[in-house]
Every structure is written in structure tokens, then in C-alpha cells.
Amino acid sequence: MNHKAYLGLAIPLTISTITTPLLGAVDTAVVGQLPDPSYIGAVAIGTIIFNTMYWLFGFLRVSTSGYAAQAQGANNEVQGIIALTRPSLIAAFVGVCLIILQWPILHGFLPLLSQDADVQTYASDYFGIRIWGAPFALLNYVILGWLMGMSMIKISLLLQVFMNCINITLDLLFVNVFSLGVSGVAAATLIAEAAAFIIGVIIVLKVSAFKLKFPSLKVIIDPVSFRKMMSVNRDLFIRTLCLLIVFNLFTGMGASFGTEILAANAILIQIHYIMAYFFDGFSNASSILTGKAIGSNDEKLYHKTLKLSIQWAVFSSIILSGSFHFFGDYFLLFFTKIPIVIELANTYGQWIVLFPLTASLGIVLYGVFTGATEAVPIRNSMVLALIVFVIAQFTLVPAIGNHGLWLAFIIFSFGRSIFLVMFVPSLTRKLFLKKEYSQNNIEVC
């Protein structure tokens, strides 16, 4: 494993994963061309609600990728298929539950995120349409996670690009041609998610031994294995819950500063998402390689993966920070032409320059832990970072307003990196201590 091989895996994954935030970014950009900033605020609120729901179950993609990579490393086809079918059952069940509970979900979130009547009305329209895509969105997480874990990177990339092309095309058609506004944006995303699911199922059936060796239901829901998977997913769920608390506190506090600042923050958060998912491509590469290393019991591959993960996290963070510092104005114009929103986004955009430098290690090394299916350190590091964020927000916001809110977010980003790095030595000992112990016993004998 060298830099060329690592990048050969990471670059396609980066292109693939970076298309995920483009669903929200394109929605924001399209309505940002409309004259009323309430449209941007509404899509921002709607996106936060869906991020809250979907990210809570983001473990469906992450753990699926880790288990699939380990199955591939061990050359165990049955376990590879089980790695797909188990989380698919959970995804379908949760998706249907979200549709059933849509009214309390919407009316539980909406008052917390905005008090503006127009924003609430448009956000309700957006939510009421997109919610029907919940089962498709969650099942897409599983399909993409499985394809990535099985090293079918190009296929996962094509699937993501396909979904976003449909979304972009329909966004422009529904908003610019049919003048459907926020409802058109939501409908475009719903159709894109459903189409991606249908194509994803067809791909899985063609590239796997699904039809020939589908395991029995008894094997799929084996209590011991299912409980182990759920324990990993529980910790990843808690990690995501902490992350979503941060974003909801951030958005709610930003909304209290007025519609224009809410819109400016929404645009900067979308840029942050693109940066975060850029790192997520490296994280997925690290997860796949770590899973293979553990599945094949290759300690050398693990250490090399860890080293490359750190090196490329640092290097890519410098590239992203420099890019936004020098070309940030062009990024902002992509999202909106409203002068006051652009001015505010420029004012607070300096904080986005710091985001890659502070968050890169936390996001990329996250992949090492998920590839090892060791989620407890991920959970603990995020809980600590959340505590730091809450303290920083309630200390800094009263003093320096929205600047304090962004500074608290940067402190949180730095915290999630530092706290996770602290768990790396214990992870290494846990993974390979037993191997070294067994080898020593053989030598003694």
C-alpha cells in the first residue's frame, strides 16, 4: 500500500461522497436565485430536519461498509451478503416509521428552528413532499455502504452521480420552468432518491451472488450476530445524535439573529458539508482498507493505512482551506445573488477557512474506527466534543453574537479531532494484541 494506491481508492470515493451534500446544496442554490431570502431559510430548515432524521441512521451506510469490507478481506461471500440484508431490514422499517410519524416530527422541529411565518410555511411544504422518500434514502445508504465496502467504487460513484444529475435537472425544471418554488425542489429530491434506489437494487442483483446464495432468514436474524451489529450501530447512532444536536443548536441560534443571517449561515453550512464530505471520501478509503486489514489479519496494512490517513487528512485540509480563502466569493455567488446575504456570508466566511484544518483528522480517522467496527471510541470522542461545543456556545454567543456561534463550531470541530486521535493507540493495541500474544505462545511452545 502506497500513496498512489491509497489515492486510487480515495479519489473515486471522494467524488462519490461529495455528491451527497450536493442534494442540499443544489436545492439551496436554486431557491437562492429567487428574490425572497425566506426560500433559502425554508430549505435550510427542511434540510436540517432531514439531516437530523437521516443522519441519526447514518450508521446504516457506515457499519454496512465496515462489515462488507471485513467480509471481503476474509473472502466470505455469505457474510458479505448478510452485511447488506441485515441493515436493509432496519432501513425499510425505519423509513416507514418516519412517514407514519411525519406530523409530530415536523411540528416538533419547526418551532425550534424558526419563528418566521413565511419560513415555516415554505419549510412545511418542503418537508411534506420529501418525507415520502425516507425509505428510499435510508435504503440508498445501505446500498452505497455495501458497494463501497465491497470495493465497487466506480459503481457507487456512478450511482451517486446518476442521483444528483436527476436532482439537478428536475430542480431547474420544476423551479425555473414550472415555477413550483420550494415544493418543486422537494419533489426533485424525492424523485431522485426513488430513482437511485431502483437503479441501486438492479446493480446489487447483477454484481452479487444474491440470487444463487441468498442466506436463510434464520441466518440473517441470528440473535448473537444481530446483537453485535446493533451494539456497533447504537454507538454510531449516539455519535450521530451528538453531531445533530450541534447542528440543530447552531441553526436554532442562527435563526434568532434574523432571516438574513439564517440564510447566510445556511449557505456557509452547505459549503461546510461539501468540505466534510470531501474528507469523507478519504474516510471511506481508510474504512475499506482497515476492514480488509482486519479481515485478512494484516497488521502491516493497518499501520500503513493509519499513516496514509493522517498524511492525506492534513494535506487535503490545507488545499481546502486555501481554496476557500482565495476563491470563496465565487462559491457564495453559486448559492445566491441577494446582496445582504452575500455580504453576511463574506463576513462570517472566515470561519469556514478554519474548518478543514480543525476537522480533517476527526473525519478521516473516523473511517479507521468504522472499518475496525470499533464504535465506542467514536461515541466517546463525539460526546466530549459536544460538551465542549455547548460550553463554548453559551459562553461566546452572548459576547460576540454570530461570530461566537461560528467560533464555538470550530472549537467543536477541533475537539472531535483531538479526542478521537487520543483513542488511536488503544485501538491498535486492541486489534493486534491478541495476534502478538498468540504468536508469542507459539514461539514459547
Tell me if residue 101 falls in helix, strand or coil.
coil
Please state the pTM of the whole predicted model.
Answer: 0.73
| Residue 5: how many other CB atoms lie within 10 Å | 13
Residues 374, 375, 381, CA angle at the centre, nearest 5°? 120
CA distance 270 to 32: 12
Cα–Cα distances in angstroms (integers) from residue 110 to residues 308, 380, 420, in the given order: 43, 29, 33
Q: What is the total count of domains within the chain?
A: 1
| Residue 247: how many other CB atoms lie within 10 Å | 18
Listing DSSP states for 287-302 in one string gives HHHHHHHHHTT-HHHH
Start-to-end CA distance of the chain, whole Å, equals 33
**Domain ranges, residue 243:** 3-444
DSSP letter for 30, please.
H
Taking only the tens of pLDDT, the chain with its 445 residues reads 778 888 888 888 777 666 666 666 677 778 777 767 778 778 878 877 887 787 778 778 877 887 888 887 777 777 788 888 888 988 999 999 999 999 999 888 888 776 677 788 888 999 999 999 999 999 998 998 898 888 787 888 888 888 888 988 998 899 888 888 888 989 999 999 999 999 999 998 887 655 546 666 666 666 666 676 677 778 888 988 898 889 888 988 888 888 888 888 888 988 888 888 889 889 888 988 998 888 888 889 999 999 999 999 999 999 999 999 888 888 888 777 788 888 999 999 999 999 999 999 999 999 899 888 888 999 999 999 999 999 999 999 999 999 999 999 999 999 999 999 999 999 988 887 655 444 444 343 3
